[in-house]
Structure formats: structure tokens, C-alpha cells
Chains A and B, each alone.
Chain A
Amino acid sequence: MAKHKGRGIATIEYPTGMNQNGDPSQAWVKLKPDGRVDVFSGTVDIGQGSRTVHTQIVADTLGVPFDWVTNDNTNTDSSAVCTGSFASRGTFIGGNAVRFAAEQARERILDIASKELEIAPGDLDIVDGEVVAKGAPDRKIGIPEVAAAATWNYGELITGTGAALKPYADVNNDDGSVELEPHSAISYAACVAEVEVDDETGEVKVERLIQVYDVGRAINPTLVEGQIEGGAMMGLGLGLLEEAYPYYPETDHRGGEFGAYLAPALEDLPDVDNLIIENPSEDGPFGAKAIGEMANNAQPPAIVSAIYDAVGVWVTQLPATPERVLRALDGEKEPRRDGKRVIFDDPVSIRTVSSDGGKGFFETDG
């Protein structure tokens, strides 16, 4: 009876945006008379920090300090459509909506500044809240002055609207093929889990997670790390602890209270080593892809593979509870072999459990 160390790896990919697209986000931007910026986007902040990210995108698209920008996402009267905060779409699609809105407002700022400076808009740039003549940096006007001129002299509201929508990609039901790319981008990640398994109690402790994420461009690295670490905790829950039906498919032992349901707590948090790499997307805001949902996908297979590395058994029904680890240690460890077939998990397969071998699931080609 002993404790054994093991290491396992997983590599994953995950799409940005609703599968098959067709999920718009829209936004609008207006300037106050002192040049400060209001952004109205319907993107719900579910804790991922989309309000902060959208504000950053608008600040840099306009060329104004971050703290000039305010985001209102509070209601459907003042905000335009956002399909929702799901499908890892907030930074890319919601972010493109506010970017496009800010680009339009930027053009209006340059138009007004052009009149004030008597320089063509194409010869102007915006730097740190000032409209500056290209090649003649002493000829400039502050955005507060531009906004004031628009309000009090020209009778104009500087505003911009943006809408991001990738067209719906129809799927061919015969073979699953699509004519249009059915996502906005794909992000990738790798996760290495290092575990210690107690072969007497079946307990698994994850000691370290090394996680690498390609997010295209980290608009806010702190928030990306928040996703990576928060996702890792959820991945630990999936891998080792959480289960709505502990004896699935039976429905007994469902719990029904906090204490009956084990979710990871801070004491379960292993050493985490996060690495962000940036392989930019073609058309996300500033090259961003996404992080979001994928952050809890890589740990469960990495953990299960590390358990195998440690004690030589595959636990392929999640979570890998002490009970399941011990049952696996007591059970058949070798796969069944049949000619060139190497068959794992035979006892739980459809062909074993179904009374007719699951014909309806397998005979699908007529």
C-alpha cells in the first residue's frame, strides 16, 4: 500500500461563437460634451470581466485613456442586441461590436477635428485623447474640445454603432459538412496534470497543473489568468469530485443540499502554472480568439491519464472518486483483444448493456 505519482497530458481546441454562427452582438457609443465615452452593449458580465475587456477595446480603438470610457450593459432599453454571454463569444463577437461602434465614432471625431484644424481627416490621427496632424504633432486638438465643438457649435452628437454577425452556416445532414466556417475562431490549449494516488484509499490529489492557452491576443492577461485558474477549479470538480447522480444512471443519492455535493474549494487548488501564448486570429478584436468555456475541458482527461500513469488503471466514468479508483484497481486492468482490435470498457458499452446490442444506435447507414 503506497502513494504513487503520475503525470498526464491533454490537448484541446474550442470554438468561439455559437456553433454555426447566426448570433449577433450589437453596440453603440456616444461622446459626452467633455469627450468622455459611453458604451452601450448588451453583453452580460457573468464574472469573466467582459465589461472591462469591452472598455479596453473601445479605449484603444478611439485612442483615449481607459478611464474615459464607461460601459452600460444594464438593460434592454438602452442596449442593442447581444445574443448572450455563452459560447465563449463575449470578447470576439461582443468585442467586435464595440470595436466597430468605436471605429465609427472615431471617424466622426476626425470629421469634427478636421473642421476645427482645417486638415483633411485622412491626415489626422488620435493619440492619448488628442487629435494630432500626422507629421505635424504641434497641430492638434483635444477630444474634449472636439466633443464640445460638436455639441455647442455644430449641433451634432458624436456617436457610432456596431454590429457583429457571422452568417448562419447550414449543415448538410447527410455528412455533417458546412459551406461556411461555423465558428469565429478556434482556441487551443494543453494541460499537464501531476497527481498523487493513494492505492489504499483511492484518493487522488492533483499537485500541479501546467496549462498553456493560445487565446489569440490577451486583451487583459489578468482576466485571462482568472479564466484559466477558475476553469481549472471547475475541471478539478469534473475530474475528481462533482456528480449530480453519484450512481448514474440511477437517480438515488441525488443529494439536495450543499453538504451532499462536493465542489472544489480553495484547499483543492493545486500549484498552477499558467502560460498564455498569442497566435492571433484574423479578425477578432486586436487578434483575440477566446478563453471562456474551454478552461475546464483539459483537466479531466489530463487527471485521468495521470491516474493511469500512477497506478495503471483507466477511470473513464467521471468523476474519478476514491470508490471508482479502488474498483478499477480491483478489476480487470487489461483490455480485451480480438484480432487487431484492442477493446477497453466492454462491460459498460451499449452492445453489452442493451438487450439487442443497441442495433438502433449502430445500424444507421440503412
Chain B
Amino acid sequence: MKAVGARLPRYDGVAHVTGQTQYVDDIRVRGTLWTKALRSPHANAAIKRLDTSKAEALSGVYAIVTHKDVPHNVYGHLEALGIPADEPLLAVDEVRYKGQPIAAVAAVDEDTAREAVDLIEIEYEERAAFFDIRKAMDPDWPNIHQWGPVYPHFGSYNHRRVRKGDIDAAFERADTIVEGVYRPQAIEHCPIEPQTALVVPEANGRLTIYSCTQAMYFSMGVVAAHLQWPLNKLKFVGGTVGGGFGGKVDTASETISALLALKAKRPVKWRWTREEEFLVSSTRAPWHMELADAVTSDGWILGRRMTTLHDAGAYARFSPYGVTKHAFHHTGAYTIPNVHFDGFVVFSNRVPTTAMRGFGVTSVSFAVETHMNRIAEVLGIDPLQLRLKNANRIGDTTPNRVVLKDPSTVPVVLAAADRVGYDLPAEYKSMTNARRSGDLLPEHLVAQLGEPEHSSNGGGR
């Protein structure tokens, strides 16, 4: 073995730093038209009238598309996972966030496209917008989503649940209950390369789609679903991304560009502006998490109650997936035998939120780890010892009943302690990730022990 473990240079590193890498915007195709979108100026409004005729008459305009031009307008990115669709590609009779696309223009240059957008006649009837997700279940909720205040399709539930053990007994037995609220924020992905697509109609009837997507097959599936086309009529070209961080899992510019290219019968490029990238592209979701932990005076965590609200923005997109992943990891790197978790995907009139590095878990890591340090402070226990004691061990069972095979809470804590010269008692220094026994197997952890499931990988050939 020579390559694995070697510090080999990045395949494309030199090209990136010398400006030789070809990104989507570097590709020039003769006759390319440029795109601008009509976007909602309101966070919540009904569309009373839409008339594109003056814009269509403008010299240099080749095509305008609205919802009427989309063969399958309402398509959910995760329909294959049983998450139904709620979001139109182009708005029909209402808009639910500032910046929602309503129509798009392809014209000879960006100025003409912008001028045409300004010529589109539209009338709105503004409605009350909703932003504080903590009030979503209040009696005066302003009816901003057809499914109600929260995503209602976790089976028959309107929330993702995790239940394990006897939570009431754990809270009864606890010496102390520590409660806290954690509110990590929405952030922008901030890619250097904004959302960009170039779509070229080929003579043989195919579309070649130059894309900055993080997921070519996934995005190809999204375009094919909106167009109702078979995959062999599409060719995605990509593989290199000018910064994604999760934001380019959204298929943001490809489909509308494809519709314009088909209508105009010309190559079409849509290059979002920096302003669009900041104000209209999706963000990481803001989360609201409430934790209550039942703990003993000597630092065992007997149980956890947790309620999570995930601010999805105006449409569901990947949020139900993110909340489920969040639920699966709500005990972090520790073994807690009794849990009661409810996670809600809450709608607001914000730009829809999406995947971002650590999706679903960045939030819970912040809540759980800050809470651990608070518990240590309340109990007067060393925060590292608290972690080592409750650490995941081989054979421990997660809240969703997965028996752990190779957990490393103990090794990483000990390595960090060693690195900073943190003094730990000998019985902690000698800990490993091995199966629990002796003092580390108190009565409340016996029932959760299991045998790890082996050879699980995804491996067909």
C-alpha cells in the first residue's frame, strides 16, 4: 500500500490556484442568452394578475416562462423518500417568501433581461407574514401553508418522535433536572461562485446542462421530473464546484434555464447575482431546541426530554429529512437510556432553508455540548469526566436502537485532554471504548446493552 495514507497533492489544486479550472461561468457558447427572474418583493402575498405581454414585445427578448410553461410545476426534491411536494418551481397564485421566483426572461444580454422583468405587469395582495416559529401553534396562526403550521407527514404524526425507556421514571429518580434553550442561527453558504447554469439545446434534441450542482444525478432527476423527460435526453456536465457547503444540493438555476432554452431554442445562461445569492438562495435553518436532562448528583444522565423546532422557511424542501437526522443524533456522543424527543418542521415566510454542512446535527451538537457543560457546572463535576462517564461504548444502544460498533467518544476526549495537558484521575485516563462493565455499568444502563450488528456496509458490487 502506498497511495492510501500518503499526503498526495489535490488532483485539481494547481488548476484552482492558477485560475485554470473551468467553472460554469467560464464556458462560452455562441448565441447564449442571459436570464433574469421576476421575484416576489413580499414575504406573503396573493398574485392577483400577471401579464407578460409588454415584456415579450421588448426587442431582444427571446423567451419568458411562467408556471404555465412548466410541465410538472410542483415537484418535491425528496418525493422518492415519501416526502410530498409543496413548492412550485414558479409561483402560481401566491408567493410565500421575499425573492420567490414568478417568471424568468431570456434575452440577448442581462440589461435587456432586467428591463423585460421590469415590464412584466403584476399585482399583489399582501398578507400578514409569519416569522416567530415559537408561536406557530398559537390560536391566531395566520394560515401561511396549506399543510398547517408544521409539516404533518411523519407517518400520521406532525412531528418526528423518538421514545425509549421510561422517561417519567428517569425524571422521578433524578437528583437534578437541568433545562436549557438553544438557538443557533441561519447563515449563508457564501459560495464564491453563485448559483449558475448554462443549458445548451443540442441538434439531436438533447439538453446539455452545465451545472455547479453538488449532485449531478440528483439534479438531473429534478430537471427530468419538472420537464417529464427521460434521463437519456439530458446530459449534466459538472463535477467542479466553486463552493457548495450544501447550498448546491438545491437545484436552483438548472430547471428554469432549461425551460427557457427549450422555449427560445437557444443556449441560455443564468448566473445569479451576489445579491440573489445572499437574499434569495436558501440558508442554513435557524433552530430552537429545548432540553431537559434528568441527572444524578454523581453525573449520570438518566434521561432526556427534548423539543426541537426547525425553521423551514416557506416550503418543506429537505427539512423533514434534516429533522429526522437531528432526532437520530439528539443524545450526541453519549449513552442516555431514557429519551423523549419531539422534532417539528415549522413553516415561516422566510426564504426556504436547506442542507448545509452538518445538516440536522450542527444544531444538536451545539445544544447537547453546551448543555453538557452546563450540567457539569450545576453539579460541580469536571466536564471531561462527565463526558467520559456517559460516553458511547461498544455495545451501547442509541435512542433509535442502533447498537454501536466502534464509538470513539473516549479516545477523542482522552487525546484532547492529553494534548492540552489536562489532568484526569487515573481511572479516567485508563478508559477505553470497550463494552461497559463494573462501575461504568450502573443498573440504569444494563437493559440498553446489545450486540452490535456487523457487516452492514453497503456493498453490492
Contact = CB atoms under 8 A, between A and B. Distances in A.
Interface string B211-255: 001111110100000000001001111111101111011000000
A277 B365 contact: no
Given A316-B182, A318-B185, A182 B328 contact: yes
13 contacts: A174-B163, A176-B162, A176-B399, A182-B400, A189-B412, A190-B415, A222-B9, A244-B283, A249-B132, A282-B456, A296-B357, A297-B365, A359-B137
A354 B137 contact: yes
Interface centre among B135, B137, B177, B307, by most A CB within 10 Å?
B137
Contacts of A298: 365, 369
Contacts of B342: 361-362, 364
A188 B333 contact: yes
B5 A210 contact: no
Interface of B: 1-12, 43, 81, 98, 131-140, 149, 154-157, 159-164, 174-188, 190, 213-218, 220, 231, 234-241, 243-246, 248-249, 274-275, 278-279, 283-284, 286, 288, 290, 292, 307, 309, 311, 321, 324-325, 327-329, 332-333, 341-342, 344, 348, 350, 355, 357-362, 365-366, 368-370, 372-374, 377-378, 383-384, 387, 391-392, 399-402, 404-409, 411-413, 415-416, 419-420, 433, 453-461
B328 A66 contact: no
Interface in A176-233: 176-178, 180-192, 210-214, 216-223, 231
B355 A86 contact: yes
A281 B154 CA distance: 31
Nearest to B388: A11
Contact of A74 (B187, B214, B239, B455): B239
B275 A74 contact: no
A348 B288 CA distance: 10
Given A15-B361, A176-B161, A188-B408, 15 more contacts: A11-B413, A20-B324, A55-B3, A76-B216, A77-B235, A167-B458, A174-B161, A176-B400, A182-B400, A188-B333, A238-B362, A244-B186, A256-B278, A293-B359, A354-B137
Given A57-B4, A84-B218, A261-B188, A176 B278 contact: no
Interface string A290-313: 001111111011101100100000
The 5 closest A-B pairs by CB, nearest first: A84-B215, A360-B137, A173-B155, A166-B458, A283-B457
A73 interface: yes
Interface stretch (A45-53, A140-148, A151-159): A45-53
A361 B160 CA distance: 12
B420 A52 contact: no
A45 B402 CA distance: 31
Interface stretch (A108-116, A117-125, A130-138, A339-347): A339-347
Interface in A4-54: 7-15, 17, 19-22, 24, 42, 44-47, 49, 51-52
Contact of B412 (A165, A237, A277): A277
A298 B412 CA distance: 12
A181 B456 contact: yes
B43 A251 contact: yes
B9 A52 contact: yes
A66 B3 contact: yes
B406 A213 contact: no
Contacts of A9: 373, 383-384, 387, 413, 416
Given A84-B217, A294-B358, A348-B181, A45 B240 contact: yes
Given A74-B239, A273-B419, A293-B358, A261 B369 contact: no
B457 A284 contact: yes
Contacts of B186: 243-245, 248
A278 to B, nearest CB: 9
A168 to B, nearest CB: 8
Interface centre among A73, A87, A219, A284, by most B CB within 10 Å?
A87
B235 A76 contact: yes
B400 A178 contact: yes
A210 B216 contact: no
A344 B157 CA distance: 29
